[in-house]
Amino acid sequence: MLLVKEAEDIILNLVQVLTEHDSETVTLENAQGRTIAKPIVGKLDFPHWDNSAMDGYAVRYEDVKTCDEKNPVHLDVITEIAAGDRPEVDIKPGQAARIFTGAMLPQGTDTIVIQENTQREADKVTILAAPEPQEFVRHKGAFYQAGTPILEAGIKIGAAEIAVLATAQCTKLSVYRRPRVAILSTGDELVTPEQTLQPGQIVDSNQYALASFVASNGGIPIKLGIVPDQPEALKSAIAQAIESADIVLSTGGVSVGDYDYVDRILAELGGTLHIRSVAVKPGKPLTVATFDDNNCLYFGIPGNPVSALVSCWRFVQPALKKLSGQNNYQPKFVDAITRHDLKAAGKRETYLWGQLHLVNGKYEFALAGGSHSSGNLINLAQTNGLAIAPIDQRFIGKGNEVKVMLIN
Ligand code: AMP
Ligand code: MG
């Protein structure tokens, strides 16, 4: 049995990251959630021009540097510049321009006096307080200079990156293709959510859960359905999955039961088994295999619905992100105070599901109510963190610190 960290390292080392050959061009409209494949280099400085950060008056610092309420300075307001205007006149000593946020600075000016520090009367403005030199001027190129990378390869695109791309007028960009992830559920007892349950049958929730997990991590889920516990049927389904995907996720059939055929079949298909079990609860029987003739990474995941999702969050998620070309693929952990007593397995690193709350700048972990059986998927709803009890720690009392893995 491998330690969780050992298993994680093996998996991340096995991942073959998509290359530039695996990239495609998308428009800005379709860039959401994709991963940048080639550094984005902007052609425009940002800001594009010296402009005002405030509503007020554009002045020559020399004119106003000594003024205060007792010794105010009076300037002639010779023009008004709104955002979008192109300034037409130069400002000479003794003059000022009325200016608004975002508007270009006129020639001759170098500083903005905010309107709160002024008094206006007809064409004159009285400056009541000296500004700092160049105060409230956003200088051309101060935030970004054209020609350098504005976004690096490996960045996953969200709202902030979309804003950067839009402002750089990058309307088409190169992103990695989405990884294809084949999903199959093994088990004679499984039926689809549409079918009426007969005694002894179980709804195949894993197929849907894993497809959702894959999609939310930017992959393309390929749902291959339910495969019965029959070696021949399983072998051909697994062979097809390996052919068609970058990653295969099968659930069930990796324990030590009489009908658990997955490991044997992977070996028969020429797979190299790198992991067969991990000292983790839930999720001990985890199989990880690769195949010489293609780049497929195979995860044989236990069938219990909680084990299946916890295994995906802990082991598949970083692998899927890394394979997708994302540079930020490592799992995230925070320290939290537990609101409840946590009981653990002792011999295995134990993951307990629940909710992480941020209270006055500190994380608190609330254990999900109800049974923490790996078969109980009902109380998994709304989970956003997994509290981790290390090996040999059977108990973490309420009010103590616990490490929590963030999911999503
Ligand atoms: P297994 O890993 O095949 O031994 O399955 C362990 C348990 O998980 C059994 O109780 C199965 O009925 C259940 N199970 C297996 N596959 C699924 C699935 N796709 N959806 C929901 N439960 C499952
Ligand atoms: Mg089974």
pLDDT tens, position by position, 100-150: 999 999 999 999 999 999 999 999 999 999 999 999 999 999 999 999 999
Same domain (yes/no): 187, 283: yes
Position 256 scores a pLDDT of 86
**305 Cα–ligand 1 center, Å:** 7
Evaluate whether residue 376 is within a structural domain: yes
Average pLDDT, the chain: 96
Closest residue by CA, ligand 1 atom 20: 204
**137 Cα–ligand 1 center, Å:** 63
pLDDT tens, position by position, 20-31: 889 999 999 999
Same domain (yes/no): 272, 205: yes
The whole model's pTM is what? 0.91
Position 358 scores a pLDDT of 96
Ligand nearest to the CA of 307: 1
3-state helix/strand/coil string of the chain: CECHHHHHHHHHHHCCCCCHHHEEEEEHHHCCCCEECCCEECCCCECCCCEECCCEEEECHHHHCCCCCCCCEEEEEEEEECCCCCCCCCCCCCEEEEECCCCECCCCCCEEEEHHHEEEECCEEEECCCCCCCCCEECCCCCECCCCEEECCCCECCHHHHHHHHHCCCCEEEEECCCEEEEEEECCCEECCCCCCCCCCEECHHHHHHHHHHHHCCCEEEEEEEECCCHHHHHHHHHHHHHHCCEEEEECCCCCCCCCCHHHHHHHCCEEEEECCECEECCCCCEEEEECCCCCEEEEECCCHHHHHHHHHHHHHHHHHHHCCCCCCCCCEEEEEECCCEECCCCCEEEEEEEEEEECCEEEEEECCCCCCCCCCHHHCCCCEEEEECCCCCEECCCCEEEEEECC
Position 162 scores a pLDDT of 98
Same domain (yes/no): 262, 282: yes
Rounded to an integer, the average pLDDT of 78-99 is 97
Pocket test for ligand 1, best of 188, 198, 202 (most atoms within 8 A of CB): 202
Evaluate whether residue 297 is within a structural domain: yes
Q: Is the pLDDT of residue 391 over 80?
A: yes
**306 Cα–ligand 1 center, Å:** 10
Position 405 scores a pLDDT of 98
Rounded to an integer, the average pLDDT of 42-70 is 97
Pocket test for ligand 1, best of 262, 304, 310, 373 (most atoms within 8 A of CB): 304
State whether the beta carbon of 187 lies less than 6 angstroms from ligand 1.
Answer: yes
Q: Give me the number of domains the chain comprises.
A: 4
Ligand nearest to the CA of 251: 1
Ligand nearest to the CA of 230: 2
Q: Which pLDDT band holds residue 169 (cuts at 50, 70, 90)?
A: very high
Q: Which pLDDT band holds residue 83 (cuts at 50, 70, 90)?
A: very high
Same domain (yes/no): 149, 237: no
Closest residue by CA, ligand 1 atom 5: 303
Same domain (yes/no): 148, 198: no
Domain boundary among 323, 349, 378: 323
Same domain (yes/no): 191, 260: yes
**384 Cα–ligand 2 center, Å:** 27
Position 408 scores a pLDDT of 77
State whether the beta carbon of 252 lies less than 6 angstroms from ligand 1.
Answer: yes
What percentage of the chain reaches a pLDDT higher than 90?
Answer: 95
pLDDT tens, position by position, 310-319: 999 999 999 9
The CATH number covering residue 401 comes to 2.40.340.10
Same domain (yes/no): 248, 306: yes
Same domain (yes/no): 235, 264: yes
State whether the beta carbon of 191 lies less than 6 angstroms from ligand 1.
Answer: no
Same domain (yes/no): 182, 303: yes
Same domain (yes/no): 243, 353: no
Q: Is the pLDDT of residue 167 over 90?
A: yes
Closest residue by CA, ligand 1 atom 10: 304
The CATH number covering residue 68 comes to 2.170.190.11
State whether the beta carbon of 205 lies less than 6 angstroms from ligand 1.
Answer: yes
State whether the beta carbon of 253 lies less than 6 angstroms from ligand 1.
Answer: yes
Domain boundary among 264, 292, 323: 323
State whether the beta carbon of 219 lies less than 6 angstroms from ligand 1.
Answer: no
Same domain (yes/no): 203, 308: yes
Q: Is the pLDDT of residue 293 over 90?
A: no
Structural domain harbouring 38: 21-46+144-176
State whether the beta carbon of 374 lies less than 6 angstroms from ligand 1.
Answer: no
**227 Cα–ligand 1 center, Å:** 12
Rounded to an integer, the average pLDDT of 79-103 is 97
**375 Cα–ligand 1 center, Å:** 8
Q: Is the pLDDT of residue 324 over 90?
A: yes
Domain boundary among 297, 323, 349: 323
Q: Is the pLDDT of residue 339 over 80?
A: yes
Same domain (yes/no): 305, 355: no
Pocket test for ligand 1, best of 183, 186, 190, 213 (most atoms within 8 A of CB): 190
Q: Is the pLDDT of residue 369 over 90?
A: yes
pLDDT tens, position by position, 238-262: 999 999 999 999 999 998 888 889 9
Evaluate whether residue 328 is within a structural domain: no
The CATH number covering residue 191 comes to 3.40.980.10
